[in-house]
Chain A
C-alpha cells in the first residue's frame, strides 16, 4: 500500500477507537452515579427508579480497549504495521509434523513405490490424498467402477511399472476409440459383439456361425489396435478383450454400445494439482492396495477354490446372477413375480457393487438364512435349499467367489409393490414357510436299496435338495410364493413353460431310467428328448459341468423318490407304440396327414426325430408327460435353438399360433400323445384354448419367427401371471 493509503487506514482506525472510547467515557461520566431511590417515572403504579449501569460493563470496555491496543501493537492491524510478534497468517495453518507428507518422505532413501508402500505413515497420507483426489472415480478402495479402472488387480491399460503408474498420475492418460456406427451395419456390430463376448466363458445365446462371422469383421476392422482380441497394447491403452475385465461394461448390449459410439476416456493430469511427494504417496497407497489384493488371492487354497467353482456350477449361481449374455456373476436378471420385479444381484467381490464388503459369516447368513447384509433376501434366492450345504462346501464356495474378478456392475433397484417391498416382512415369511430342519439322509422307507444305490441316493439328495435347488422350479408354490412340501417336484408354470412334474411316480410312468435321465441332465440330449428353454440353461451352466457320477446320483435320487414323493404300488408304465396300422386308418388319416404336414416335416413321419434337425417325439418325456401343457405350449410358442452342443444344434421350431386352430391342435396333440407318448386320454380344444390364452396374455404366443431376427431377440420383456 502506498504511504497515503497506509496513513489513511491508520488514521481512521485511531479515529474509530477514539470515537468509541469517547462514547463510553461520556456515559461513564454522566451515569456512573445515580440515586436508586429516585423515581423517574411511574407506570400504572409501577415505579421506575434510577440506577447506575453495573460497573462491570465499564470494566469490560476498559479491558477490551487495552486488549485492542495491545493487539494493534503486537499483531498486524494498522496498515502495513507487521506487529512486534512477527506473526504471519500462514503460520496459523495448523500444520504439524505428523501430517506433513514432505517430512514423512524426507528421511526415506528408498523412494520406489514398493518401498514407500511398506511405510504405513506414507500409505496413510496416500490414502487420504487418494480419497480426496481419486476416489470419486476409482472408488474409495481403488477397486474402480464402470468406466474407471480397478487399480488393485495387476491389470494395467498403460503398463504397470512404477514409471508407468507415476506417468499416468502426473501426465494423465487419454484413451480413445473411434465409433463404428456410421461405418458398420448394426448387424455387423452385433456379430462382432458376439465374437468379443465369446472370448470368455459366458452364457451366450448366439449360434457359432454368427460368432465366426463376427470374428471376420473383427479381424478386418479392429485388429490393428486389438490384435486378435487376446493381447493388450499398452502404447495406446487397448485392453485384452478375452479376459473378464470390462471397463465399459461387458454385456452384449454394452459391448455393442462401445463399438457403436467409441470411447473418449480421460485420466486428468495431476502434475499441476499435486506435488511430487503427494503423487508418490498416492502411488504408494495404490501399490499397497494391490499387494494386499495379491496377498488375499494367494491366501486362498487353490483346491478349495477349484471345488468352490464346481459347487458354484452345481448351484447354477451364474444362471440367475448374470443378465442375458451379461458378465458372469454380475447380476441383473429380472424376476417377474406377482409382487413386482426383482433383480438378481452382483455377487462378485466388488466392494461397493458386489459382495466384497461381506465376510464369511455374512455370506453364510445370506446363503443359509436369507439374511443379506442390507436386509432380508427375497426367497427368489433359494436359501431354503442352499441351507443344506455342508460347512466345508460353504467355505469352498466362499473361497471361489472371492477369487473371481470383481465386476463393478451396479445392482438394479427392485420394483416390488407395497407391502412386499418392506424387507422386514420376509422375516415373517421365513418363520412361516422356511423349514430349518436339517436334511435327513436316512434310507428311504418305501424301497429297498443296495449299499451302492443308497450311497448314490444320499449323494443325489444332497445335490438335488441343496445346491441343485431343483424344487425351486419343479414344485408348485402357494399364494405367498412358498414351495408346497407335500407336492414336491409335481411341476410348476415358469416363464410360460411347465417345469415338468419330476416326481418319482411321473418319471417311472414316463419310463425315464437311470441312463436316459443321466444323459439328459449331463448332455441336454437323450433318447427321450432334449432339454429346452430354462432347462437348457440349467444343463449348459450347471449339470453339464458336473461329473457324470454326480449326475447319476441326482438321477438315482429323482427316480427312487423320497418322502411325499413315492411310486404307488402297481404304478403302470406307458408304452408308446409309435405309429401303427391303426394310425394310418381311414378315420385317422386326416389327422395323420396334418401330422405329416406339420410336426412330421421335421420330426419325421415316424416321429423318431431327425438329427440334426429335430429331436424324437416317440418316447419323448414331454409328449409322455401327464400334463400336456408343454406340448400345447411348444406348438403355440415355437422354440429357439439352445446352442447346447455345437455338434447337435436342432433347428428352431416354428410357431403354429397362426396356423392351427384350437380344435386342430387338440386333435393333433391327442394323436401324437396317443401313439408317440402312450397317453390315452385326449387333449380337448378347451385345454388348448386355455393354454393359448394364458400364453397370449403373457406375450409368449407366436413370438418366434424363422427370420434371422430370431437369434437376436430373445423374450426379454415378458410377463406371466
Chain B
C-alpha cells in the first residue's frame, strides 16, 4: 500500500481531489452528454431570431442576468409566480445559458407576452413610472443607442457552429434585421420571446 497519503503531499491531495470530483462528472454529466439527441428531439426550444440574438447580447452586456434569473425551479410557489418550470430541453440553443443565480428582480423565464412591448419600453426607460416600488435601474440610453448589425452575421455563424440550426438565408438576412434598431427595441424583442417557445407546454 501507499506509505504516504494526501495529508503528506500536495500532489497526492490534488490527484485524489480530481479522482473524487470526477465521480460527479461521470455520474451526472457524462450520461447526459450522450443523451443530447434524445433531449433535442423532445425539446420545444426554438432558435432566437437575429434581432433577438442582438437583444440577448444587450441583456448580457447590461448585466440583466446578474439580478434576474431564467430558471424556474419545479416547486409550487415558484411555478405559481413565474410560470412553467424549466425543463432540461429548454436551453439547447442557449450559449451560454443565462440561468443566473441571484434574484434581485423577478425570474424572467416566461416573461414573453406577459406585458406589452409598450410597457417594456416605459419600464426600461423609467421603471418607477409604471411600478412605483421598483428598485431596478433605469436604462434610458438603450433607446438612443442604435445597433449597426455589423457583427451579427459572425455571431449567428458561431451559434450555428455550436449547433443552432440557422439557415444560410437567415444568417444572410440578419444584418438587415438588426441594422438601425435601437438597443432597447432589440432587448424588448428578446424579452418578448422569453418562454414563448414553451408556451404550449403548460403541464405542471
Report A's interface with B, CB cutoff 8 A: 1, 5, 8-9, 12-13, 15-16, 19, 89-90, 92-95, 99, 132-133, 136-137, 145, 147-148, 264-269, 272-273, 275, 352, 410
Contact = CB atoms under 8 A, between A and B. Distances in A.
7 contacts: A1-B31, A8-B27, A8-B31, A9-B27, A12-B23, A267-B116, A352-B132
Interface stretch (B52-60, B71-79, B89-97, B169-177): B71-79
Contact of B119 (A92, A136, A275, A410): A136
Contact of A272 (B20, B35, B74, B202): B202
A93 B75 contact: yes
Contacts of A15: 23
Contacts of B26: 8, 12
A94 B113 contact: no
Given A12-B27, A132-B81, A148 B119 contact: yes
A10 to B, nearest CB: 9
A13 B122 CA distance: 53
Contacts of A273: 83, 110, 113-114, 199, 202
A265 B118 CA distance: 7
Contacts of B80: 132
A272 B76 contact: no
B118 A133 contact: no
A5 B31 contact: yes
B31 A272 contact: no
Contacts of B31: 1, 5, 8-9
A90 B74 contact: yes
B9 interface: no
A266 B113 CA distance: 10
B116 A266 contact: yes
A272 B115 CA distance: 14
B199 A89 contact: no
B162 interface: no
B195 to A, nearest CB: 8
B14 interface: no
B130 A136 contact: yes
Given A5-B31, A16-B23, A94 B76 contact: yes
Interface string B114-152: 111111001100000111100000000000000000000
B77 A94 contact: yes
B200 interface: yes
A90 B122 CA distance: 38
A145 B130 contact: yes
A147 B118 contact: yes
Best-surrounded residue of B20, B81, B116, B129 (most CB of chain A within 10 A): B116
Interface of B: 20, 23, 26-27, 30-31, 34-35, 74-77, 79-81, 83, 110, 113-119, 122-123, 129-132, 199-200, 202
Contacts of A8: 26-27, 30-31
Contacts of A266: 116-118
B115 A268 contact: yes
Given A12-B27, A90-B74, A132-B81, A137 B34 contact: no
A483 to B, nearest CB: 35
A133 B83 CA distance: 10
Given A93-B76, A147-B118, A265-B118, A272 B129 contact: no
A268 B116 contact: yes
B194 to A, nearest CB: 12
| Nearest 8 CB-CB pairings of A with B | A266-B116, A93-B76, A16-B23, A5-B31, A95-B76, A272-B199, A268-B113, A94-B76
B155 to A, nearest CB: 29
B130 A137 contact: yes
Contacts of A264: 118
Contact of B122 (A132, A147, A275): A147
B46 to A, nearest CB: 15
B104 to A, nearest CB: 16
B180 to A, nearest CB: 19
Given A266-B117, A273-B202, 9 more contacts: A5-B34, A12-B26, A93-B79, A136-B115, A137-B130, A147-B118, A272-B199, A273-B110, A273-B113
A269 B113 contact: yes
Nearest to A352: B132
Given A13-B27, A136-B119, A272 B200 contact: yes
B113 to A, nearest CB: 5
Contacts of A268: 113-116
B176 to A, nearest CB: 23
B136 to A, nearest CB: 11
Contacts of B132: 352
Nearest to A6: B31
Contacts of A137: 115-116, 119, 130
Given A5-B34, A265-B116, A268-B113, A94 B75 contact: yes
Contacts of B113: 268-269, 272-273
A95 B122 CA distance: 36
A150 to B, nearest CB: 14
Nearest to B26: A12
B74 A93 contact: yes
A350 to B, nearest CB: 11
Contact of A136 (B74, B79, B81, B131): B131
Contacts of B199: 272-273
A89 B74 contact: yes
A15 B200 CA distance: 42
Best-surrounded residue of A92, A136, A275 (most CB of chain B within 10 A): A136
Nearest to B196: A272
B41 to A, nearest CB: 15
Contacts of A5: 31, 34-35
B202 to A, nearest CB: 7
A99 B20 CA distance: 44
Contacts of B200: 272
Contacts of B77: 94
A41 to B, nearest CB: 14
Nearest to B2: A26
B27 A92 contact: no
A410 B130 CA distance: 10
Nearest to A172: B113
Nearest to B116: A266
Nearest to B7: A27
Contacts of A89: 74
A190 B12 CA distance: 83
A152 to B, nearest CB: 18
B200 to A, nearest CB: 7
A56 to B, nearest CB: 20
A264 B121 CA distance: 13
B37 to A, nearest CB: 12
Contacts of A90: 74
Contacts of A267: 116
A268 B79 CA distance: 20
Contacts of A269: 113
B86 to A, nearest CB: 13
B105 to A, nearest CB: 12
B109 to A, nearest CB: 12
A433 to B, nearest CB: 33
A121 to B, nearest CB: 16
A133 B114 contact: yes
Nearest to A16: B23
Contacts of B123: 136
B27 to A, nearest CB: 5
A61 to B, nearest CB: 15
B7 to A, nearest CB: 9
A147 B125 CA distance: 15
A410 B75 contact: no
Contacts of A136: 115, 119, 123, 130-131
A275 B80 CA distance: 11
A269 B112 CA distance: 11
A266 B115 CA distance: 8
Contacts of B35: 1, 5
A323 to B, nearest CB: 17
Contacts of A95: 76
A492 B186 CA distance: 55
